[in-house]
Amino acid sequence: MNTVAVMDSVADWKADFRRTFEHFDEESPVLILTHHDADGLAAAAICKRSFARLGRHAEVRISGKGENPWTDAVQLELRDRPMGGLIVADLGVRPGVVHPNTPTIFLDHHHPLGYPPDATIITGFGIEPTPPSGLLAYWCMEDLVEVEDLTWLAAISIIGDMAEQSGFAELESARDRYGITLLRDATSLLNAARRSGSVTAQPAFELLLKAAEPRDVISGKFPETQVLLKARDEVAQALQVARRTAPKIKGNVALIMVDSPCQIHPLIAQQWKARLRKNIVMAANKGYRPGWVHFSIRSATGLNLIDFLKENAPSTADENYGSGHIQATGGALTYPAWNEFMSSLGFGPETNVNA
């Protein structure tokens, strides 16, 4: 672990955050836009709880299926929304301005697709080990207010983004205090919400605002836990069905096509990656969102998967295609774009999706 490089960056990130935060207008709430996975939810919870300690109100908008801050519907929603400052957490970094004339801070660790002008970009991308968004949030807040009791939220973000081997001190300290099993159980329950087809991530986020420690997430002390347990059952059932799907192989690509409203495609890709070690494994889901095929790509080959997608991009692919990480990426394509993508990879019409 290159401790010196990470520590240098942390000092810069804290200074950058503080400098921009000082320009937030205190008369209006801070708006936090965040991703619906455990890392994004933890990032938003750390920020909102820290701001409350500073006497500052923050509102949180969690992105849902197929949404990001640059999509038309979200842009329309943000247009007239009052905000004293904006934090965009775990949603990637793209060249477009999210909200004009508003001091904006990105907390992220994904492959940036470009940089918006005038925004403060705090990204772990390119640093090894890569700090996830929740850990970046924790470091920035730690500079402003006492947050030691929130270390477990940073640990959840680290576990959620599969960085357990990273050696980050926040994970070590939470592990010593609460045990790794409890932290893992809480993380997987929080992720069940956004993976299910019927529940949003909102109850998972509510739990992170109320919980004093990870046990409160799973104990049943708060009613939201029941909702998450139902979501977990739903995802487990969908996975069981999807597990019966055999891969189709073309060249070095193994395609597993499923049809579920649950966000199971990343889990399917991850499972097959371990079994098909010589292939680029692509799990595609035509039932996740009407009009779109969502897919996840993983591989044990060590190939740069973002480059692979770039080389095979359909003509109409946009920013919804090929972002993420070099070893874990994917995207969403309309049916015609998906069909074009499939034939360019050599797959036959049986992989086509039509309305």
> Please, what is the Cα angle at 101 between 95 and 105, to 5 degrees?
55
Q: Please identify, among the stretches 93-101, 157-165, 194-202, 281-289, the one whose residues bind Mn ion according to the rule CB under 5 A.
A: 157-165
Q: Please identify, among the stretches 155-163, 186-194, 218-226, 328-336, the one whose residues bind Mn ion according to the rule CB under 5 A.
A: 155-163
Q: Are 296 and 265 in contact (CB under 8 A)?
A: yes
* Residue 183: C-alpha distances to residues 65, 152, 171, 203, 354 (Å): 26, 8, 10, 18, 42
CB 166 to Mn ion: min, Å: 13
How far, in Å, CA of 9 to CA of 122, rounded?
A: 9
| Residue 136, token pair as written in the block | 């970046």
Q: Please identify, among the stretches 86-94, 116-124, 170-178, 320-328, the one whose residues bind Mn ion according to the rule CB under 5 A.
A: 86-94
CB 40 to Mn ion: min, Å: 6
Helix, strand, or coil (residue 143): coil
- C-beta of 192 vs 257, nearer to Mn ion: 192
- C-beta of 133 vs 285, nearer to Mn ion: 133
How far, in Å, CA of 15 to CA of 28, rounded?
A: 23
Q: Please identify, among the stretches 161-169, 185-193, 239-247, 270-278, the one whose residues bind Mn ion according to the rule CB under 5 A.
A: 161-169
Residues between 180 and 239 with contacts to Mn ion, criterion CB under 5 A = none
Asked if 170 is part of the footprint of Mn ion (rule: CB under 5 A), the reply reads no
Asked if 340 is part of the footprint of Mn ion (rule: CB under 5 A), the reply reads no
Residues between 273 and 312 with contacts to Mn ion, criterion CB under 5 A = none
Q: Of residues 103, 116, 131, 132, which one binds Mn ion by CB under 5 A? A: 132
Q: Of residues 32, 152, 158, 161, which one binds Mn ion by CB under 5 A? A: 161
Q: Please identify, among the stretches 34-42, 44-52, 239-247, 288-296, the one whose residues bind Mn ion according to the rule CB under 5 A.
A: 34-42
**How many residues belong to the chain?**
355
CB 338 to Mn ion: min, Å: 25
Phi, psi of 63 (to 5 degrees): -75, 140
Asked if 108 is part of the footprint of Mn ion (rule: CB under 5 A), the reply reads no
Phi, psi of 135 (to 5 degrees): -70, -40
Asked if 322 is part of the footprint of Mn ion (rule: CB under 5 A), the reply reads no
**Burial class, 198, CB count within 10 angstroms (exposed 0-12 / middle 13-18 / buried 19+):** exposed
- C-beta of 49 vs 109, nearer to Mn ion: 109
Helix, strand, or coil (residue 286): strand
CB 133 to Mn ion: min, Å: 5
How far, in Å, CA of 57 to CA of 72, rounded?
A: 26
How far, in Å, CA of 82 to CA of 154, rounded?
A: 29
Backbone angle region of 114, left / alpha / beta, with phi > 0 → left and psi within -120 to 50 → alpha: left
Q: Of residues 39, 170, 234, 340, which one binds Mn ion by CB under 5 A? A: 39
Name the DSSP class of 108: E
Number of residues that bind Mn ion (CB under 5 A): 5
Asked if 90 is part of the footprint of Mn ion (rule: CB under 5 A), the reply reads yes
For Mn ion, the binding residues (CB under 5 A) are 39, 90, 132-133, 161
